[in-house]
Amino acid sequence: MQMTHNFCPSLGSPEDINISLGLTMAVQKGNPSQLLACGPTLQRTCGESIYVMGRCYQLDSSLRHQQTLPPSLPECPVRSLDIVFLIDGSGSIYPDQFQEMLTFVSKVIEDFKGTDTLFAIMQYSSWFVLHFDFNKFLATKDHNSLVRNINQLKGATWTATAIQKVLSQLFIPSRGARDGSQKLLIVITDGEKYGDSLDYSIPIAEAERKGIVRFAIGVGNAFTTSNALEELSSIASKPTADHVFQVSDFSALSQFQKQLQDKIFAIEGTQVQTGSAFQLEMSQDGFSSFITSDGSMLGMVGAYDWSGGVSIFKNGKESIWINGTQEKGDMKAAYLGYAMQPLTKNVIAVGAPRYQHTGSVHIYMKSSSNWNQKFAIVGEQIGSYFGSVLSGGSINSDPAKLLLLVGAPTYYAPASPGGRVYLCPIDSKVLKKVESLALASLVCPTTLQGDPTQYLGHFGSTISILPDLTGDQMNDLAIGAPFEDQNRGAVYIFPGQRGGFRDSYLQRITSNQVSRGLMFFGRSLSGNLDMTKDGLPDLTIGGEGRVLILRSRPVLGVSVAMRFTPGNIRLAFFECPNPTEKGAAATITVCLTTRKRSTGDNGEVSAQLTYTLLLDARRSTSRAIFDGTGRSKSQTVQLREGTMCENHSFKLPECVEDSLTPVRVALNFTLSGVPVLSEDSPTNVSNQISFQKNCGSDDICQDDLRITTGFGDLRNLVVGVATEVNVTVSVQNHGEESYYSRAAISHPSGLSYRRVVVVQSNRRTSVVCSVLNGEMVTCGINNPLLRPNTSVIFIVSFHVPSNVDLGSAMMVSANVTSDNDGVPNDQMRSSAQLKVLYGVYVTVSSVEESTKYTNFSSDSAANDIRDVQHIYRVLNLGQRPLPLSVIFMVPVKLKEIPVWEKTNITFSGAELANGTIECTNIVLAPKTENAEERLKSRAVLDCEVMTCVQYVCNISSLDIMESVQFMISGQVTKEWTTLTAQQKVSLQSSAELVFDSEKYQHILEQNQPFIMTQIQTVLEVNTEYNYLPVIAGSSVGGLVLLALITAGLYKAGFFKRQYKDMMETPDGTTEGQNGPAGDSQNPNEGGGSGE
């Protein structure tokens, strides 16, 4: 679309500097229609100050300028300043430092040249000198000469008294102080007051009453202490951070000369005795705007120190000022008028997003010619800018119900980190009942938020109520979030509902979806125009440097219906084992009805619908199929307004076991093309067709169920050995079809169900079991249908805990029922019983400390005795405590000869946790009479050949892992040797465990080594020999033998021949005749005289 310059009005005046014209706009529809274009950033220079005001231009339907609001800008405020320098001239300041301070004062005075500012200087120490007052300053052209002629006083530091003198002697009319001027006192000192008895509270209180603004400048290291800093703070005005300056030395004063100047300029024209004096200088007229029948409403956020307000102009003149600032001190810097929203002709909402830092919205109602505040809605989070965006009216409800939408774009919470919009319902009838002097509070029960993963997205920066987009005859809502997706922006569409809007968004439109590279998409929104002339509303969205128009799509309502021909599947198509008929079992008729849902849609329906039929939906395998396509079939049709139908047949490929559950047919569809589907059009529908019953001519099925139970070949259950027990269940149906047949099996509470296994059936049958409670398992038999003449045998397994107590017998009962509502009989009940034993694992063993060996001397006395002890240990290694007896067999006499005397048994059972031990004994005769013959073949003294004492020790309860030691002790003599020829025999005792075999069974089949054991002690008699004759005879024999050997050698000449060979040479001479004795000579080396 193009527009010539002839249609663009020329607006504005030379005063419109940086006005931002068009930043806010308002439109009045009807006759006449009007446009209000505002620029709320108009800059106005007044002396050294720049004020920000605003201006709006009202245009008619032909865009001709009608009037300017406000008609003229206010005059610049004229304010004067009277400034006194109170300088420290005490002796602690060096002369060169004092000169640097005077230089600083001169530069400050020079900075205010050309302004309506007067200066005076007083120097203090222990004395006080007024160097010049305001009159003299005004009369002197060379102001520097006034400062150059000042000499230092020296002395102490009487700061408090000096301030009091300034108040009483300088800030008075006779010294040139002017009425209505802003008065400032600048104190420069190098340390705390010294020698001054006057407290600061007296002069400071007087200065506050007179509205004198005070600056305190501390120079030097003296102000590093907390007391000195506190003294500076007491001198200066509040806030301290704006009125206290501190430097290290006098040469550094010039560093904050500009800072001090800015502080004073900021005060000029804004600070008076009672506080703020900004009125309309920073008003920013037209920051928000609306055109009503009462006139044009302009929001003025900067009025009265940014407390804000609303100005209503009628006939070009300001007639009403809405402002709670002057009466309410808590409205300071509230930004009232930041946003406005007329709810009805006589009700408006005004936002104040910085009210008490949390923001608020004020509801005003017109009464006669006055606007009175009725409600206040306060934000819940600091910094959320609650009330910065407003929208609403009578939306999706009756006219008496109003809905106010409040944006809080900087709200942050973990669930909504990117902003929030509040929905605040208002009953207009209640508005009339609220007294103007008693403000009521409103609550906003519903909040909207965007994508929770988008942090700091400023959701709620723009709000636009839209016409019906979804075809449900409800207004919809668009909300902008221009900082989402890293400042690229997004827009959310929320569908309407009765009384407001749904709290979940229908669509999120991102910047990248519509224009790549576009930033701050969603910064402005409007959705009330049909820009494309298709009868459908369009959405206009502004971004950085661009405006985009998004067309809404037509909405279609589609309903789907399915019916079956015939009404059920006849028995001939599915009866097992061989169906008698083939071909199509039934036909599905699918009918589609299409309606336009968008109001004003004047186009043709241009959409395609693709639907898919699924047979036996929700089942893993299908009993029915379409010819050639399996269990599913898809079809695409071109939609038109009205109803259209299509037929689809299906067949059953094999016999059907489950003919009770109907065949469920599910249909889902998708829409393609320009239109979209209405939300209330379900895309998934289903219907079902049943099977004909096989129940005879009366169509009433009467089953005949029977059940038997047992444990198979199992004769008893050993708890602790067997971990499972199997119950065999047999179920038969001798009647007609049985529906949802089930067997309920009751079992002892200690058992738990494990599994079920079908072991035999005359046709394909399934059994599924589940635990009903701790003592009942229910098993479905081929559910939902058990056919006639069907029998099945299945095994239900139960886990048997090792510590369970089942009593002496285990009882299992079962009954079979169905949904046929037949009369119960005895054949539908069965029970079985199994004997129960409990596995134990108990052992008896010998202990190493038992006596293994002892001996006697053969020549010892007959009554020589030895101590012998046999120690046995009984240990319970099983899973349960048990009572038992230990039988000890102790041999004591061999015929009438005592062998093991004074036998006694002791035990450690006093430490048993829950049991006691009692022992008894009896004497038993030997089992064989011919002991001597038995001992010849087996040298063991036991109860076979000896008289024994039998000890029976009864243990009432031996706990798990508990043990008892029994010690049999006595004295053994060697008199047994008189009845046997053996000198070495074994004395043997035995121990045996006995428990109730009707209740307990040892867990090991070969349990003999564990429940019986023996201990043997070897008894031996040692014979002592006389070795002296042997030694004497051996010695004599040895000597005689030696003598005989020596004599023999002598007779043989052994000793003589050897001597002769040693004394003679080979030639018959002796060695001594040839040379000195001791010389040796080889006969081969020298010539002997004999040669």
> Which carries the bigger pLDDT value, residue 577 or residue 197?
197
Q: Is residue 404 part of a domain?
A: yes
> For residue 411, what is the domain's CATH number?
2.130.10.130
Looking up residue 992, the CATH number of its domain turns out to be 2.60.40.1530
User: At which of 236, 268, 300 does a domain end?
Assistant: 268
Are residues 850 and 827 both part of a single domain?
no
The pLDDT of residue 1012: 93
Cα separation values, 172 from 82, 134, 135, 177, 179, Å: 11, 10, 11, 5, 9
The least confident of 170-174, 574-578, 819-823 is: 574-578
Question: Is residue 758 scored above 80 in pLDDT?
Answer: yes
- Choose one of 821, 839, 857: the last residue of a domain: 839
The answer to whether position 1027 is within a domain reads: no
Range in 110-114, 213-217, 327-331, 877-881 with the lowest mean pLDDT: 327-331
Of the pLDDT bands very low, low, confident and very high (cuts 50, 70, 90), residue 795 is: very high
The enclosing domain of 580 has a CATH number of: 2.60.40.1460
Is residue 377 one of the residues assigned to a domain? yes
pLDDT band for position 716 (50/70/90)?
very high
Q: Which three-class secondary structure string do you get for 201-266?
A: HHHHHHHHHHCCEEEEEEECHHHHCHHHHHHHHHHCCCCHHHHEEEECCHHHHHHHHHHHHHHHHH
Mean pLDDT, range 210-227, rounded to an integer: 82
DSSP 494-559: E-EETTEE-SS-SEEEEHHHH-TT--SBTSEEEEEE-TT-SSS-EEEEEETTEEEEEEPPPEEEEE
pLDDT of residue 47: 63
Task: Say what the pLDDT of residue 1085 is.
Answer: 39
Averaged over 218-229, what is the pLDDT? 78
Q: Write the pLDDT tens digit of every residue in 72-128.
A: 887 766 568 899 999 988 888 888 888 888 888 888 888 778 778 899 999 999 899
Final residue belonging to a domain, choices 1022, 1050, 1081: 1022
Confidence of residue 1 (pLDDT cuts 50, 70, 90): very low
Instruction: Retrieve residue 759's tokens.
Output: 């072991």
More confident residue, 397 or 848: 848
- In SS3 terms, 561-620 reads as EEEEECCEECHHHCCCCCCCCCCCCEEEEEEEEEEECCCCCCCCCCEEEEEEEEECCCCC
* Residue 789, pLDDT score: 87
* pLDDT beyond 70 at 726: yes
Q: What pLDDT band is residue 1055 in, cutting at 50, 70 and 90?
A: low
312-345 pLDDT per residue, tens:
888 777 778 887 654 455 788 899 999 999 998 8
pLDDT band, residue 733 (cuts 50/70/90) = very high
Least confident of 758-762, 816-820, 1040-1044: 1040-1044
Are 387 and 460 in the same domain?
A: yes
Q: Is residue 251 in a domain?
A: yes
- Within-domain flag for 49: no
Q: Give percent above pLDDT 70 in the chain.
A: 89
514 and 653 both lie in a single domain: no
In this prediction, residue 923 has a pLDDT band, given cuts at 50, 70 and 90, of very high
Residue 1045 has pLDDT above 90, yes or no: no
Indicate if the pLDDT at residue 676 is higher than 80: yes
Cβ–Cβ under 8 Å, residues 899 and 987: yes
Segment 590-648, tens digit of pLDDT? 999 999 888 877 778 889 999 999 999 988 889 899 988 899 999 999 999 899 999 99
How confident is residue 518, by pLDDT bands cut at 50, 70 and 90?
very high
Examine the pLDDT at 1038 and tell me if it is beyond 80.
yes
> Could you tell me the two tokens for 666?
């599910």
pLDDT-based confidence at residue 431 (cuts at 50, 70, 90): low
Number of domain units in the chain: 5
CA-based end-to-end distance of the chain: 168
Give 910's pLDDT tier (boundaries 50, 70, 90): low
For residue 6, is it within any domain?
no
If asked whether residues 725 and 846 sit together in one domain, one would say no
Q: What span, in angstroms and rounded, lies between the C-alpha atoms of 385 and 351?
A: 9
Q: Of 28-37, 419-428, 667-676, 732-741, which range is least confident? A: 28-37
Same domain flag for 861 and 835: no
Same domain? For 519 and 560 the reply is no
Q: If you average pLDDT over residues 673-696, what whole number do you get?
A: 88
Mean pLDDT for the stretch of residues 770-780? 91
In the predicted model, what is the mean pLDDT of residues 229-246?
85
The predicted pLDDT at position 94 comes to 87
| Host domain of residue 825 | 705-839
Across the strands, what pairs with 888?
A: 951, 991
Compute the distance between CA of residue 377 and CA of residue 361 in angstroms, rounded to an integer. Answer: 5
| Same domain? 239 vs 293 | no
> Are residue 682 and residue 722 in the same domain, yes or no?
no
Q: How many CA atoms lie within 13 A of 189 on its CB side?
A: 30
Maximum Cα–Cα distance for the chain, whole Å?
A: 188
CATH number of the domain where residue 769 is located: 2.60.40.1510
Phi-psi domain of 373 (left: phi exceeds 0; alpha: psi -120 through 50; beta: other): beta
**Residue 369 confidence (pLDDT):** 76
822 SS3 class? coil
Same domain, yes or no: 687 and 761: no
Instruction: Indicate whether 134 and 260 sit together in one domain.
Output: yes
Please tell me which residue, 221 or 813, carries the higher pLDDT value.
Answer: 813
Note whether residue 634 is domain-resident.
Answer: yes
173 and 116 both lie in a single domain: yes
- Is residue 206 domain-resident? yes
The closest of 133, 127, 125 to 98, measured between CA atoms, is 125
CA-CA distance, 753 to 544, in Å (whole number)? 70
The pLDDT tens digits for 552-589 are 889 999 999 999 999 998 877 877 666 666 788 999 99
808-837 exposure pattern, b = at least 16 Cβ within 10 A, e = fewer = eebebebbbbbebebeeeeebbbebebebb
1078 or 180, greater pLDDT: 180
Examine the domain organization and report whether 856 and 827 are in the same domain. no
Residues linked to residue 919 through DSSP beta bridges, in sequence order: 953
Q: What is the pLDDT of residue 707?
A: 96
Identify the CA nearest to 687 among candidates 650, 741, 656, 641: 650
Q: What is the mean pLDDT of the chain?
A: 85
Residue with tokens 């079939």: 633
Using the predicted structure, report yes or no on whether residue 1081 has a pLDDT greater than 90. no
Residue 1077 is predicted with a pLDDT of 38
Query: Among candidates 979, 976, 803, which has minimal Cα distance to 898?
Result: 976
